[in-house]
């Protein structure tokens, strides 16, 4: 294996961290998002909750579990990053038909100073391999080196052993099924869910014959502990789907595409409605008729996918059940 020092842009990385939890039984390294769908990018956060018996931490070393691939660490001010790369145990399928045979196997942040009185987050991104079995677990073994002593969070529960009974458990990530299969909803009701994400009150508006654009409206709620971002919209009724925002400036209505997507904050929601943010269906292939539905596929940065059908309301409707102005 070769030892490489790597710094990566925060714009190109997602989060790896561990939540700080009070109480001795929970004061260990753990993953903020403890479950991820296979075949998706994984955002996580490793939090180091305390030092070694009062001594400050100067090095954090993470062993990357088999099946977590294409891993990149995020730089930290005042800390040096080293990575150990090597071959995977098998070849894994990746995006765009590519396959990966090797990658980062270990990350080390060193040279910093994290006092026992504080906690900090250590961040990386990667991809949960499609080949993993739903219901299986990946264990991130973490070694914490301090001014005096060290802590090894490396214990893995054996058969019949409860992880909560371990004194120094490794951080565990449970593998869910495919993200798409996790989505459930009310078919033509304009609502659906996938994990901690829920779409409610979805609808669209009928179009005049020959119209080339239409819009979709809905509310997205995020009950999870991490923010997520709606990054793409697809529908078979148009050639292109985009996320737009409409604002009023000096009496002029302006519309712009949200190229970076729409963030749904942790524990919060985002409302897409006439006169504000909305889905835009561009180059329609058919007229939208009141009483029918528009199939829509929403893809999120976390890898979650929600598919639902938006009921089509009457031309000129300004909400899901009433009529009004016909702006987007």
pLDDT for residue 161? 82
Strand partners, 83: 4, 107
Cβ pair 57, 144 in contact under 8 A: yes
pLDDT for residue 144? 96
Q: Which residues contact 9 (CB under 8 A, 6 or more apart)?
A: none
Supply φ then ψ for residue 120, to 5 degrees: -150, 165
Spatial CA neighbour of 81 closest among 46, 123, 39: 123
The reply to whether 2-176 and 180-313 are identical in fold is yes
pLDDT for residue 105? 97
Indicate the DSSP class of residue 97: G
pLDDT for residue 295? 93
Within its chain, how far is the Cα of 270 from the centroid?
16
Q: What angle do CA 137, 139, 142 make, to 5 degrees?
A: 165
CA distance 308 to 183: 9
Each residue's pLDDT expressed in tens, for the chain with a length of 328 residues: 444 433 333 333 333 333 333 333 347 888 877 888 888 888 777 888 999 999 999 999 999 999 999 999 999 999 999 999 999 999 999 877 889 999 999 999 999 999 999 999 998 999 999 899 988 999 999 999 999 999 999 999 988 887 778 899 999 998 886 655 444 544 456 888 887 888 999 999 999 989 999 999 999 999 888 899 999 999 999 999 999 998 777 777 788 999 999 999 999 999 999 989 999 999 999 999 988 999 999 999 988 889 899 999 988 666 544 333 344 5
pTM (predicted TM-score): 0.52
pLDDT for residue 242? 95
Spatial CA neighbour of 271 closest among 201, 192, 184: 201
pLDDT for residue 138? 94
Cβ pair 1, 78 in contact under 8 A: no
CA distance 102 to 189: 45
Q: Where do the structural domains in the chain lie, given as residue ranges?
A: 2-176, 180-313
Fold of the domain spanning 180-313:
Immunoglobulin-like (2.60.40)
Cβ pair 72, 6 in contact under 8 A: yes
pLDDT for residue 27? 77
For tokens 């400036």, name the residue: 249
Structure token digits, residue 226: 């991490």
Does 2.60.120.10 match the CATH number of domain 2-176? no
Spatial CA neighbour of 175 closest among 50, 280, 65: 65
């Amino acid at each position: 294996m070769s030892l490489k020092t790597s710094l990566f842009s925060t714009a190109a990385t997602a989060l790896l961290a561990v939540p700080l939890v009070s109480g001795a039984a929970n004061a260990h390294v753990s993953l903020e998002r403890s479950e991820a769908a296979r075949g998706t990018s994984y955002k996580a956060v490793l939090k180091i909750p305390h030092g070694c018996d009062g001594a400050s931490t100067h090095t954090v070393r993470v062993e990357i579990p088999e099946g977590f691939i294409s891993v990149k660490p995020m730089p930290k001010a005042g800390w040096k990053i080293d990575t150990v790369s090597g071959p995977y145990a098998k070849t894994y399928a990746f995006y765009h038909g590519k396959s990966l045979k090797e990658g980062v196997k270990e990350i080390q942040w060193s040279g910093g100073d994290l006092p026992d009185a504080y906690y900090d987050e250590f961040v990386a991104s990667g991809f949960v391999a499609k080949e993993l079995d739903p219901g299986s677990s990946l264990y991130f073994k973490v070694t914490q080196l301090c001014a005096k002593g060290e802590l090894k969070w490396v214990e893995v529960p054996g058969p019949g052993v409860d992880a909560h009974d371990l004194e120094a458990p490794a951080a565990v990530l449970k593998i869910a099924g495919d993200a798409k299969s996790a989505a459930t909803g009310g078919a033509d009701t304009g609502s659906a869910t996938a994990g901690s994400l829920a779409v409610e009150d979805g609808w669209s508006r009928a179009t005049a014959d020959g119209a080339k654009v239409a819009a979709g409206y809905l509310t997205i709620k995020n009950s999870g502990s991490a923010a997520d971002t709606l990054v793409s919209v697809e529908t078979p009724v148009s050639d292109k789907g985009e996320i737009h925002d409409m604002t009023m400036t000096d009496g002029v209505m302006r519309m712009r595409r949200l190229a970076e997507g729409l963030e749904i904050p942790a524990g919060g929601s985002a409302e897409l409605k006439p006169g504000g943010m909305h889905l835009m269906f561009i180059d329609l292939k058919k007229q939208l008729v009141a009483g029918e539905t528009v199939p829509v596929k929403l893809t999120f940065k976390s890898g979650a996918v929600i598919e639902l059908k938006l009921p089509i309301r009457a031309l000129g409707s300004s909400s899901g059940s009433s009529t009004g102005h016909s702006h987007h």
